Structure formats: C-alpha cells, structure tokens
Structure 1
Amino acid sequence: MADSALTDTPAEAEPAPASPAKKRRAKIIILVLLGVALVGGLVWFLRYQSYGKFQQSTNDAYVQADSVTVAPKVSGYVDRVLVAENQTVKAGDPLVRIDARDYRAQAQQSEAQIDVARANARGVEAQIAEQQAAIARARAELAVAQTDASFADAEVARYAPLAETGAETRERVATLRNQARQASARVAAARAALTAAERRVGTLRAQIAQAEAQAEGARAQLDAAQTDVGATLIRAAIDGRIGDKTVRVGQFVQAGTRLMSVVPTRDLYIEANFKETQLGLMRVGQPVRIEVDALPGVEIPGRVASIAPGTGAQFSVLPPQNATGNFTKIVQRVPVRIALSAGPAARALLVAGMSVEVSVDTRSARDAAERIAREQEAHNERIGR
C-alpha cells in the first residue's frame, strides 16, 4: 500500500526556467537603477561640495527684541492707567499718570521762594538808593570840614607872626591853633564817614548778590519740581506693543519700579547660538534662510548683522572656571545676531521669544580658511627668523 500511495501521489512541479528575454529585462532594470543611484549620488556630492558644506544651520535660535522697561522717575500713587495689555503704542503716547499734587505743591513753594528772593533784592536796591543820598551828605560834610580846616590854618598862619612881634597875644594864637586841630579832626571824621557810607554800598550789593543766588537756587528747585510734575505722566519711549503690564490704579509705586514693557515689534531680530565649530567661515553680511516654527513652510530671508565677542558662557552670571576640579570639554556656542527681512504679514505674527531655525550661507568666505592658513604660515616663518 505504501508503494501504491507513492505511486498515486503526483510529483511536485519543478519551476520552469526563466526565458532569456526576462533575464535581459531584469539586468537592464538593475543597470538603470544603479545608473540612477550613481548619477544621484554624483549630483548630491557635487551639490554638497559646492553648496551644502557651506550651509551652517542651528535650531538654537529665537526671535528677540530690545524691549524697553517702563518705570516711573518719581514715587506716588497711580492715578490712571492709560493703556491695556498688548496694546500698540507710538513713541510719546501716555501710558500711566501718577498723582502730581505733591509735586505741584513743591513747585509752588519754589515759586514763592523765588518771589521772596526777588523782593529782598528790590529792598536792598532801595537801601542802595538811600545810601547814595547818605554818601552825598557825607561828601558835603567833608567839604565843609575841609573849608573850616583851611580857614583855621589860614588864621594860625596870619596870627602866628603877629604873636612873635608882640602885636597879638600868645593866648590868641594858641586858641587858633586849637581850633585848627579840631577842624582837622572834623575833616578826618567826615572822610571816615564818607568811606563808611561808600563801603556800605558794597555791603548792600553783596546782599543783592546773595538774594539773586537764593533766587537762582529756588529757580533750580522749581525746575526740578516742574520736571517731577512732568515725570508724573509716563510716556512711551519707542513704538511697540505693551507687555508684562503689572501696574494698577491706586497702586503706590516707587521710583524705578517696573510697571510694564514696550516691545518694538518693528525692530525684531534673531539671536542664533552657533557652535564654535561653525563660525570659521561665518562673516557679517552673509545671507541667511530663516524658518519660524509658528510659520511652517514659510522661508524668511535675513543676513548676519553681527557676531558676539564672546561665547554665551563668558557672559553668564556664573561663568565656568575650567581650572578647578575635573575638566570635560564642551563645545561652546557663540550668539550671532541676524537681521530679518520679513514682510508685513509675517512680521505681524512674529513676537519675541519664538523658536526659529536658521541656515547661514558661508560661500562668500570659502577661501578664508586657506588664506588664514597661508598668512599664519608666513607669520610663523617671520617669528622663526
């Protein structure tokens, strides 16, 4: 029965050999695929050598803006808040008003001090006018005294010879001489009175100068008070949008307290943190392709505006000290500022802090590495000599 079973089971059909035409077609397809792969690889290699290896990209990049912190110059209670969160403002627009009554009172007090100083100056000027009359009287008294002294001297000169001859008594001459001395003393007293009266004018002029100085000091205080009054109305320093607003009506704010920020939406830029190994051919002015995560598929052109003078670690609050403890080398990153050339529609959607990806085309400096190497070799040779 086993033999009959083996005999009755049909034998498995062997695969028919492939025809020569099919083999030839398969070989052609393989050759075509290899050719396409070879051409594609060659194209990729040529493009990489001429373009790809000069593209330096990073996703450690963010939209930035040099925002302005709004803070009061003076302290006081907030009287009004004139803007809302996220509101667009222009430079000079009022933002916050602080109660200015105390500062206005200080200004009025300074004005009163100025008036008092001016009144004092006018009073001293009136005293100077009176003193001029006193000087004139002192000069007249001096003239009278000098006349009396001259007359007394003349009398002594006339009677002295007569007394020598006995025509006049000596007592008469002694009396005349005494009168002459008294007249001379009156001249000295009158001259001293005139000098005192004239010097009094100088003293009064000094008082005027003092009053004017007091007026100037009060005027300076008035200017400061008026400046404080003007500072109670806080205005926007730049165009932008209001953000991080924390001020409320009735709140007491100290000078320098942060109230809000004004973000200049028209002056946005990109800060990209490239690895130090990517900066060899990077130069200011090179073109940049920018892709914002919030705008997928949209490519924004830009250019390299500047390169930081140090790595991010150097400008951190606590820079690393590699000379202490164990050392592990970490590739550092250098901030690069990139200027945007976004259109109005794209710029309206950009805000500070957004994540972006940037790619810098460094082909303009493709020969820089070789040139630097040649210059360094020449410099080394000069030093070796």
Structure 2
Amino acid sequence: MTLRPAPPCFATSASAWRNTLKTAEERARPRRNGKAIRLALLAILVIAGFAALGAWLAHRWTHVEVDDARIAADVIAVGSQAAGRVTKIAVIAGDRVAKGDLLASLESEQAELQLKEIDADIARTAAEQSRLRAQQAMVRNQIDSRRTAARAQLEASEAEHSAAEADLATVKNDYERMGSLRRVGMISLQGFEAARGRFLTAQQQERRSAAGVRAARAAISVIEAEAAETNVIERQIAGLEAQKNAFTARRGQQLVDLGHREIRAAFDGVVDATFVDAGEYVAPGSRLLMYHDPRKVWVDANVKETDFAKLKLHAPAKVSVDAYAGRTFKGEVARLGEATTSQFALLPSPNPSGNFTKVTQRLPVRIAIEQDAELLRPGMMVEVEIDVVD
C-alpha cells in the first residue's frame, strides 16, 4: 500500500511565513547599515578634503614658497702671492683651522739669500757713510784750525800794516818838512838825504805790510774754498743715504715676500678643498685651497618676480634642508635683491630676431639663518617658506 504525505496545516504555513520575513529583515539590516557607514565616511572625506584645501589655500596666501635656494657662505679662495715650489700643504679638506694656523708653505732659500745680500748692501753703504763722515769731520777740524790761524795772521798783518801806515805818515811829514828847509838852505844835503831814506824805507814797509794783509786774506779765501769740500762730502753722504733707503725698501719687500711664503689662516674656519700638492711650482695668484667660517652661513634664494612684491625685510622664514628631512630651521629675510639673476648671466640672451617668449624672472633674496651645531654647509639645497602676512 502506498503512503501519501499529509497536507500541511494552516498553522504550520503561518509560522514558516513569519520565519521567512524575519530572515529577510535580518538580511536587509546589514545592507542598510553599510550604506549609512559609507555615506558617513564619504561625508567625512569630503569635509576633510575641503578643510585641507582651505588650509593649503590659506598657506599659499600667507606664505611664499621657494625651492630654488641653497646654503651659502663666504668661501675664501687662498692664493699664492709669491712664486716658488710648494714645500708643504699643512691641511686637507675637512680640517679645522684657527686664525694664524699654517695652511701651506713655499720654498724660501733663495728669498733668504736675497735678504742677506740686501743686508750686506745696507751694511756696506752704512760703512761708507761712516768713513765719509769721519773724513768730513777731519777736514772740518783741519779747516777750522787753518781758518783760525789765517784769521790770526790777518789780524797781525792788519796791525802791522796800520803801524806801517802810521810810521809812513810820520816819516813823510818829516821828509816834506826837511825838503822845505833844504830849499831855504836851513839844513844840509846830508840831513835831507837821511830824511828821504827814512821815507823810502817806511814806504816800502807799508807796501810789504799791505801785501801781507792781502796774502792773509787770500789764505782765508783759499781755506773757505777748501771748506766747500765738506759740502761735496755731505752730498756724497746724502747720496749714500738715498741708496741705503732704497736697500731698506728692498729689504722690506723681501721680508714681505718671505712672509708670503708661509700662508696662514686669516680666521677660524674649515678647509673645503685643496688644489696643489707638495712639490708643485706655483706662480703668484695660483689658487692653493678654499675654506670658510662654518659659523657664518645664510640662505640664498631666488624668488619669482610675481612673489617678490610680497616680501619685506625681517619677515620670518622657515627653512627645510634636504639633507635633514623632517627638520626645520628658523630664519628671516635679511636682504632683497636689486636686479634679477638673468642680469648677471655669463651668456646674455639678446633677442635680435624679435621672437619673444616671456619668462618669469627671479630675484635673489638672502635669508639670515642661525647655524646649529655646524649642520648647515655651503651648497646644501633647501626649501624656504617666507611669511608674508603683515
């Protein structure tokens, strides 16, 4: 006998329907919750995006960003002021030096020999001057003695001549008186001749004394002429003095040249590079090495001309160094350029054809920045944000 399934009852059908509805509701509820979550997340992302966009626009409005910037310093090229062979390079790149430290030295043997030769010339000139001064003093003493004797002789001759003139006047009066008496016959011829003889003798004596005066004066003239020899010696001494001054000047130049053969640091710093080795020959002006003071650095930035009008002196700036990611340094605008960088190009770009393409120019701006543990080194690339809000 075949068994047939019993027909479902109404209660069983209602229960199954309720279970079916419940299952559908449970399946639909997660779908509604996920959609709401997605909408909420989308709203949050949109709000965050607008907030980020607003912050970015506000930052762009209140700051000028420059990526064409680098650390700069006064990197000094040390050159040779003398010619010669390099005997020593006392430093290498990276060495720290203090003011006065030896950086390099050149051979100095020939310069020292030349200095000794100049010293010998100075000594020889000084000795010749001493000899001439001694000769001049001796000549002056001799001339002074002879002048004194000649003047005494002149005084004696003049006194003798005065006496002879007085005697001649007396004898002449007697002779004239005797002549008058002889003409009237009051004296004998013998008495007249005796008076005439005395007159002639006195006349000759007066002439001899006058000649003695002239001779004494001539002797004084000769002595004075010889005294001019001391002036010649004085001129010789002056000429030697000029030579000695020239030798002294050459000696000073030689000392300077010797000083230039020891190249020393002018300030505290660090060596950046050396360009010669010991044994090489260098000429005046040859570059030996470069160094800089690591405490004195700044940022050279090239700002677009469209942003230049926003900048002001002492405006604060934030510097990000490529070498130190995530670290920033504080600075401020220290100097604004007066001409664009294109004005200093080695190869200017004229436009004779008339085909012109306008290009935004850049102007140099210096940013003062404080060194921090000497981390900032010349040539490092940086990015600068300059605050342009009043």
Q: Same fold (TM over 0.5)?
A: yes
Deviation at 1:191, TM superposition (A): 2.5
1:62 is the counterpart of 2:58: no
Is 1:75 aligned with 2:101? no
* Structure number with larger C-alpha Rg: 2
Of 335, 351, 356, the match for 2:382:
356
Measured after TM superposition, the shift of residue 163 of structure 1 is 2.7
Equivalent residue letter for 1:73: Q
Partner in structure 2 of residue 151 of structure 1: 160
Tell me, in whole angstroms, the C-alpha distance in 1 between the residues paired with 2:371 and 2:248. 52
Secondary structure, counterpart of 1:58 in structure 2:
strand
Percent identity over the alignment is 27
Measure the CA separation in 2 of the matches of 1:231 and 1:27: 85
| Corresponding residue to 1:307 among 336, 341, 345 | 336
1:106 aligns with 2:114: yes
**Which amino acid is the alignment partner of residue 87 of structure 1?**
D
Contact 1:146/1:183 (8 A) holds in 2:
no
Equivalent residues of 1:271, 1:337 under 8 A apart: yes
Are residues 76 and 276 of structure 1, via their aligned partners in 2, closer, same or farther at CA, if it must alter by over 3 Å? same
Q: For residue 254 of structure 1, report the CA deviation from its aligned partner.
A: 0.5
Q: Aligned residue for 1:162?
A: 171
Residue 20 of structure 2 is matched in structure 1 by: none
Aligned to 1:246: 275
Q: Does 1:91 align with 2:99?
A: yes
Partner AA of 1:330 in structure 2: V
Q: What is the RMSD of the two structures over their aligned residues, measured on CA atoms?
A: 3.0
Aligned-pair CA distance for 1:234: 1.0
1:122 aligns with 2:151: no
1:209 to 2:238 alignment: yes
Deviation at 1:113, TM superposition (A): 1.6
Work out the CA distance in 1 between the residues paired with 2:257 and 2:99: 20
Structure 1 stretches of 5 or more lacking a match?
Answer: 1-15, 365-385
SS of the residue 1:109 aligns to: helix
In the TM superposition, what whole-angstrom CA distance separates every residue of 1:187-229 from its partner, at most 9, and x where no partner exists? 3213213423443334433333333333232222222212211
Q: How big is each residue's C-alpha offset from its partner over 1:129-168, in whole Å with a ceiling of 9 and x where there is no partner? A: 2123212222212221231133123202321342354234
Q: CA deviation at 1:75?
A: 0.5
* Further displaced range: 157-166 or 258-267: 157-166
Matched residues in 2 for 1:127 and 1:324: separation? 86
Q: In structure 2, the residue corresponding to 1:244 is in which secondary structure?
A: strand
**Distance in 1, Cα, partners of 2:38 & 2:94:** 63
Q: 1:115 to 1:95 in 2, by over 3 A?
A: same
| Closer, same or farther: CA 40–328 of 1 in aligned 2, 3 Å | closer
Deviation per CA, 1:319-378: give whole Å up to 9, x if none: 45568744332211111111222421xx33x332221111111213xxxxxxxxxxxxxx
Determine the C-alpha separation between the residues in 1 that align with 2:315 and 2:386.
7
Q: Within 5 Å, which residues of 2 pair with 1:266-345?
A: 266-321=295-350, 325-344=354-373
Aligned residue pairs, count: 345
Matched residues in 1 for 2:277 and 2:264: separation? 16
Q: In the alignment, which of 131, 140, 151 is matched to residue 142 of structure 1?
A: 151
Instruction: Tell me which amino acid in the other structure corresponds to 1:239.
Output: D
The CA distance in 1 between the partners of 2:98 and 2:254, in whole Å, is 27
Give the match's secondary structure for 1:142: helix
SS at match of 1:266: coil
CA shift for structure 1 position 269: 1.8
Deviates further, 281-290 or 252-261: 281-290
Contact kept in structure 1, 2:167 and 2:202, CA below 8 Å: no
Aligned AA for 1:98? L
SS of 2:342 mapped into structure 1: coil
How far does residue 46 in structure 1 lie from its aligned partner after superposition? 7.0
> Conserved in 1, the CA contact under 8 Å of 2:97 and 2:271?
yes
Task: Assess if the C-alpha contact under 8 Å between 2:303 and 2:365 holds in 1.
Answer: yes
Change in CA separation of 1:126 and 1:217 when aligned onto 2, cut-off 3 Å: same
Runs (5+) with no aligned partner, structure 2: 1-23, 176-194
Task: Show the counterpart of 2:14.
Answer: none
Residues 73, 378 of structure 2: 8 Å contact kept: yes
> Which residue identity is paired with 1:213?
A
Q: Equivalents in 2 of 1:198, 1:324: separation in Å? A: 88
Q: Distance in 2 between matches of 1:75 and 1:32?
A: 78
> Cα distance 1:321–1:150, how it changes in 2: closer, same or farther (>3 A)?
farther
What's 2:183 paired with? none
Q: 1:282 to 1:143 in 2, by over 3 A?
A: same
Q: Which amino acid aligns with 1:227?
A: V
**Alignment partner of 1:130: what SS?**
helix
Match of 1:379 in 2: none
- Give secondary structure in 2 for the equivalent of 1:216: helix
1:126 deviates by: 1.0
Note if 1:264 corresponds to 2:293: yes
Q: CA deviation at 1:232?
A: 1.0
Q: Normalising by structure 2, what TM-score?
A: 0.78
Correspondent of 2:210 among 171, 174, 181: 181
**Match of 2:287, SS?**
coil
